[in-house]
Amino acid sequence: MIRTSLRYHRPATPEESTAILVEYAGDVVVLGGGTMILPMMHRAEVEAGHIVDLRGLGLATVTEEGRYVRIGAMVTYGDLLDSDVVAREAPLLRRMAGAITGGNQLRNLATAGGAACYGNPSSDVPAVLVALGATMCLHGPAGERRVPAAEFFVDAFRTAVGGGEFLMWMEVPRLVVEVGYHKLKLCEGSGPIVTAAVVRDGGRTIATVGAASVTPLRFDLTSCVDSGVDTVDELIRDGVVNPWTDVLADGRYRRDVAGAVVRRAVADLREG
Ligand SMILES: Cc1cc2nc3c(=O)[nH]c(=O)nc-3n(C[C@H](O)[C@H](O)[C@H](O)COP(=O)(O)OP(=O)(O)OC[C@H]3O[C@@H](n4cnc5c(N)ncnc54)[C@H](O)[C@@H]3O)c2cc1C
């Protein structure tokens, strides 16, 4: 039960949303699907007098916009799985959504945008957005601001979302590329210990590793994959310089297993 008094806002425009976020700064939270923020408020880990529900802004759509697929901040994992556009133009997003644990209840509520804004290193979402070269489109007091996903994830639980800002949508380039995905979990229902998204495009093979470090890490695998010399483990191990520790796994373990997770993602890419 949320024991503090709480005022619910359901703005109809981005400007109205930002005005509320500015007016109640420090005492307001944004509500996506609520799967993370509401339990935290129940446990009094987050206390706020105001909550801004983004459902009135029409952000639950997936659309094709020129060279991009635009994913609204309120698009759930279930929506990603159901979308023909995502299946055709951004299959890595579909792979990621299919790998999220928590069952249908979670998939029908939780949004990829909410996971991105929460900034938990132990998530499937950040590394996939970075791997795809996504752009995060924010709305704030100065209007729209676009931030590359690679710069959006600043630290553990810290993103580029500033005061009065919220995520409107994510733009993912429409790429005809080969992709592979793999994640290591503690058990069927656990969050990820290490994730790897591998993208091959124009002769280059790039792996983006998630959950091993506070923010996603990118590795150019082109030479080691093409030469057939298995130096992947060494490359990844040396690159995980600031490994992430939480209740799921110790940082040293994450660094040790990251190479194997990447190799499996490469195998997944090769299998098509
Ligand atoms: C049972 C269970 C299983 C899970 N399994 C996985 C898994 O396998 N892999 C994985 O990666 N994650 C997993 N998760 C985490 C899940 O991905 C997140 O809970 C979910 O995606 C968060 O999205 P939400 O829309 O519910 O966010 P909310 O709970 O609504 O919000 C999360 C945070 O982001 C902020 N926020 C939300 N939307 C916006 C916005 N548009 N702009 C600015 N700030 C915003 C909120 O203020 C809050 O701080 C699991 C969670 C549960 C409960």
pLDDT tens by residue, 21-32:
999 999 999 999
- Best mutation site among 9, 35, 152 for ligand 1, i.e. most ligand atoms within 8 A of its Cβ? 35
Q: So what's the pLDDT on residue 203?
A: 85
Ligand 1 site, residue 161, Cβ cutoff 6 A: yes
**What residues does 146 pair with on adjacent strands?**
137
Pairing verdict, β 192-201 and 178-185: antiparallel
Rounded to the nearest angstrom, the distance between the alpha carbon of 198 and the centre of ligand 1 is: 23
Residue 225 has pLDDT above 80, yes or no: no
Ligand 1 site, residue 113, Cβ cutoff 6 A: yes
Q: So what's the pLDDT on residue 227?
A: 66
Ligand 1 site, residue 35, Cβ cutoff 6 A: yes
Task: Catalogue all structural domains in the chain, each as residue range(s) with its CATH number.
Answer: 7-56 (3.30.43.10), 57-173 (3.30.465.10), 178-271 (3.30.390.50)
Rounded to the nearest angstrom, the distance between the alpha carbon of 92 and the centre of ligand 1 is: 19
Amino acid at 192: P
CA-closest candidate to residue 75, choices 103, 108, 104: 108
Residue 244 has pLDDT above 80, yes or no: yes
**Mean pLDDT to the nearest integer, 164-169:** 98
Q: Whose CA is nearest to atom 18 of ligand 1?
A: 115
Residue 173 has pLDDT above 80, yes or no: yes
pLDDT tens by residue, 36-84:
999 999 999 999 999 999 999 999 999 999 999 999 999 999 999 999 9
Ligand 1 site, residue 75, Cβ cutoff 6 A: no
As to burial, measured by CB atoms within 10 angstroms (0-12 exposed, 13-18 middle, 19+ buried), residue 165 is buried
Q: Encoding tokens for residue 194?
A: 């290490």
Q: How far apart are the first and last CA of the chain?
A: 47
Distance from C-alpha of 93 to C-alpha of 85, rounded to nearest angstrom? 11
Distance from C-alpha of 18 to C-alpha of 23, rounded to nearest angstrom? 8
Q: So what's the pLDDT on residue 228?
A: 62
Judge if pTM exceeds 0.85: yes
Q: Kindly indicate the confidence band of residue 224, based on its pLDDT and cuts at 50, 70 and 90.
A: confident
Q: Encoding tokens for residue 6?
A: 């709480």
Percent of the chain with pLDDT over 70: 98
Judge whether 79 and 60 are in contact, CB under 8 Å: yes
Pairing verdict, β 135-140 and 62-65: unpaired
Q: Whose CA is nearest to atom 14 of ligand 1?
A: 191
Residue 229 has pLDDT above 60, yes or no: no
